[in-house]
Amino acid sequence: MLTRLKDPWFTGLIALFGLVAGLFLWVLTIAVSRGHLSGDGWTLSGNGPLIIPFGVGPAFVAGGWAGIILRMRGHPRSLLLGIGSALIGLALTAAGVLSLLLFGPRGRDAGAAASLFFGFVLYGWLLGSAIVAALIRAPDPDRAGPPFWSILAIALLPITLIAGCEVGTGVLPR
């Protein structure tokens, strides 16, 4: 009974995290865009900063989904494993960016192909992290009904993350 009372609060906390994370991602995107970071054959101005919402955002969602699923299943390390899942997503995002830098301007096609590959793997991890979280051994306590609040938290995380980015456009226009 006590856990059921905590579930609406948890779902609200996830929604708040999504909004704050989305706002943070937008502010970071604008800051990187205005920083005019560039090197030999690459730049993080123009469309370059979009790696933040389209790379870091899915990494956050993958970690959140894994953590929510593991919490719903009663895993004692749900938060830690959720953070680990997000770190895998961040590593894939970083690998996509680094592939452009490492191949340099002479290997532009190879760098772009590698970056695209890591982008596809990142979006695969978005789904894969949820599947892995569902397959990890956990206590899986008995429930009287479907885990409505956990399902709602899973749905609200990407929605509120996008909403936070949209709020960011009003706070700090591009």
Q: What distance lies between CA 32 and its chain's CA centroid?
A: 18
Contact indicator for 11, 153 with CB cutoff of 8 Å: yes
Q: What is the pLDDT of residue 1?
A: 41
The low-confidence residues of the chain, meaning pLDDT below 70, are 1-5, 174
77-109, pLDDT tens digit by residue?
Answer: 999 999 999 999 999 999 999 998 999 889 989
Q: Which two tokens stand for residue 156?
A: 């609200």
CA distance linking residue 129 with residue 21, whole number of Å: 19
| pTM of the entire predicted model | 0.92
Closest CA to 64 of 164, 144, 169: 164
